[in-house]
Structure 1
């Protein structure tokens, strides 16, 4: 099994689209990242965990799952880096490869020393763009394969046939 741990705010700060968004609407930037990581998960089959620092928020850690992506907001006084390091130690084993997406060099070095694989935010962005291109190509192929009628029909007749097909009158 492959698991991708994502340093949420680090990636938001590194991706141009999200960096521009975070200055006006940080919550929206988080949602876009979660949506993109859901696409990543669906395409690659990786389990994806995004970790966000609980920016000056008092309280306990908050965990939720959105679009089959695990999202963790760290507890008070815990950084995303610390939480990612703990997760990497907990999750790594012979059958599980851990990939960590962050551009924080110190974090990359620490994670690498624990046996996890490093991926910069820029590398993740490049990979995500390739995934989006592949998804678009697959959708286009699917649309092109859609059978077409060999007999030209007016819209009214096509609607009538569709009603008959569905058993409607």
Structure 2
């Protein structure tokens, strides 16, 4: 099975998605957190490894890697752009058994990505995928809520719920 990796140009996506673009005007950290949360859900749903790359010039003095929500978050070094780090990551990660996607709407970056053998996802495509995923999750949750636990014993709903919690090992 091929390893699938998604590299996300963090500030490029924030600048493109309307809800994040609006949020960043007053709360850049909140916009970053929102994107991180959405990408963690995306990773869990799709099974792709997700790394979000943020430019250090927006947050001086960083240049670190973090793991939040089992997600890789990279802040570039001070004089390094997200584009440069993404190009380096594509080169480092490129193997025959690995499929790399880069989410960005930066046209120049997209051309470099194609040249290095990675696939591109525009910010709009990624947003559409995330919204579609959220709808499918919501549908599944609603379906699960509607499916009642079937039992042959004549017990109340409250007792059935207690037994179900015990069955799952929850107090």
TM bucket normalised to smaller: 0.7 to 0.9
Using the alignment, how far apart are the partners of 1:91 and 1:31 within structure 2?
Answer: 25
User: What residue number does 1:61 align with?
Assistant: 63
| Partner Cα distance (1:113, 1:102) in 2 | 15
Query: What TM-score does the superposition give when structure 1 sets the normalisation length?
Result: 0.87
Cα distance, 1:50 vs structure 2: 0.2
Aligned residue number for residue 136 of structure 1: 138
Structure 1 partner of 2:110: 108
Contact kept, 8 Å, 1:56 with 1:76, in 2: the verdict is no
Partner of 1:5: 7
After the TM superposition, which segments of 4 or more aligned residues of structure 1 sit over 6 Å from their partners?
none
Counterpart residue number, 2:82:
80
Distance 1:56 1:131, change over 3 A: closer
Offset from partner CA, 1:90-121 (integer Å, 9 cap, x none): 00111000000000000000011000001100
| Contact 1:62 1:72 survives alignment (8 Å) | yes
Larger CA deviation: 141-150 vs 127-136: 141-150
Distance in 1 separating the partners of 2:28 and 2:17: 13
Counterpart CA distance in 1 for 2:61 and 2:28 is: 20
Per-residue deviation at 1:57?
Answer: 4.8
Structure 1 unpaired stretches of 5+: none
C-alpha distance 105-147 of structure 1, shift in aligned 2 (>3 A): same
Gaps of 5+ in 2: 167-171
Residue aligned with 1:71, SS: strand
Deviation at 1:47, TM superposition (A): 0.2
Alpha-carbon displacement from aligned partner over 1:99-152 (angstroms, at most 9, x marks no partner): 000000000000110000011000100111011111111111111113268868
Q: How does 1:10-159 map to 2 (within 5 A)?
A: 10-55=12-57, 57-59=59-61, 61-147=63-149, 153=156, 158=158
CA distance in 2, matches of 1:104, 1:49: 17
Structure number with greater Rg is 1
Deviation at 1:19, TM superposition (A): 0.5
Change (3 A) 1:58 1:48: same
